[in-house]
Amino acid sequence: MQLARTYRISFLLLLIALLCSWLLNVSSGSVSIPFADVLSILFGKLPKITSWEYIIWDYRVPKAFTSILVGAGLSLSGLLMQTLFRNPLAGPFVLGISSGASLGAALLLMGTSLLTGYTSFAFLSNVSLAIAASIGSFLVLFVVMLVAQRVKDTMALLIIGLMFGSITSAIVSVLAYFSSAEDLQRFIFWSFGSVGNLSTDQLLLLGSIVVVGVLLSVRSIKSLNAFLLGENYAQSLGISLKKSRLIIIIATGLLAGGITAFAGPIAFVGLAVPHLTRQIFDTMEHKVLIPAVMLYGAILMLLCDTLAQLPNSASVLPINAITSLVGAPVVIWILVRKRKMIF
């Protein structure tokens, strides 16, 4: 009951870690800029080399903020899924939500030109890509929810999620087979995942989507806590099941779908971060977990993106590969150490 007090220091440390990893992220990249210069540019002073200012303000800072939005949002959506399905393995990826987003993106990037015969470049903006991916993820999420109401067994649900994953990747393969090389390349690059290349407008749009998702999650704190007891108990506590489920699903769909749309399908963050967070914040209270998970996710994403940049080299690794390389061993380590994922 005196939760807030005990976790105050942990939150403070996490905030400091977030600031540090943000600075680290901003100060590393293909062009080597001394840390002192990075700081002075950030504080609005004129740099020694004018191009540095552009690199920092127009490329690295937006990219760092995208990382924060992506990491925080995906982690939060993972937490929501794990509580809603009361399953430690739930996450945007496992339940097929990200596959749904991929399908939406694939249909838009490769399907439109196939069906209409025109290359879709003219009317294809990143906003329509975001909408298509969100619609895809929402569709899968709703189907999973429908199935969830029939099938009480959560293991069956996870398998169904995996099956959706294979169905969508099959459809994507078929689309890919018939698409032009350019369309295919666009889709492949999207599926590598990337937190760079977002314009300020896109960043603002992504930011608003994440903010709405977070607000809906905060509104759901009470019902999320009640869901920890199971749906029947939640109902007996006066929670309206249909309404709160719907709100949580919309929040997840917005977060996972919106982020996947702009940054591509980024693996493991949604699944792994809630578990990592529970290593430090040993509580199930969502009032604590929501901010903690978001901070954790943001830090992890910033660090992964810093790694993906390969400091001082021009190559950038796909962020999706890095998060999997970091995330998968962590989940294995937790499982081996704790023997079971306690949810």
Partner 1 sequence: MAKIDENIVSVKNLAIGYNSKTVAKGIDFNLHSGMLCGIVGINGIGKSTLLRTLGGFQPKLSGDILLNNQNLKEFTSSDLSKELSIVLTEQPASKNLTVQELIALGRQPYTNWLGTLTKYDKEQVQASLKAFLLEDLKHRKCHELSDGQLQRVLVARAMAQDTSIILLDEPTTHLDLYHKVQILKMLQELAHNKQRTILFTTHEIELAIQLCDRILILDGKDHPFGDPCTLIEQQHFDRLFPSEMVKFDAKTGTYKVSK
Q: Shortest gap between Cβ of 156 and partner 1 (angstroms)?
A: 16
- Smaller CB separation from partner 1, 59 or 222: 222
> Toward partner 1, which CB reaches closer, 117 or 238?
238
- Write b or e for each residue in 80-91: b if 16 or more Cβ atoms lie within 10 A of its Cβ, otherwise e: bbbbbbebbbbb
Contacts with partner 1 by CB under 8 A lie at: 1, 83, 86, 219, 221-222, 225-230, 232-233, 235-240, 278, 283-285, 287, 342-343
DSSP letters for 309-336? T-TTSS----HHHHHHHHHHHHHHHHHH
Quote the CA–CA distance of 89 and 78 in Å, as a whole number.
9
State the minimum distance, in angstroms, from the CB of residue 337 to partner 1: 16
Q: For residue 312, give the 3-state DSSP assignment.
A: coil
Structure tokens at 10: 């942990």
Q: What share of the chain is helix, strand, coil (3-state, %, to 5)?
A: 75, 0, 25
CB of 310 to partner 1, least distance (A): 39
CB of 153 to partner 1, least distance (A): 13
Nearer to partner 1, 228 or 310 (CB): 228
Asked if residues 23 and 64 have their Cβ atoms less than 8 Å apart, the reply is: no
Residue 231: closest CA among 149, 134, 142, 298: 149
Name the residue type at position 292: A
| 197 versus 235: smaller Cβ distance to partner 1 | 235
Q: Which of 85, 262 has the CB closer to partner 1? A: 85
- Distance in Å, CB of 316 to partner 1, minimum: 39
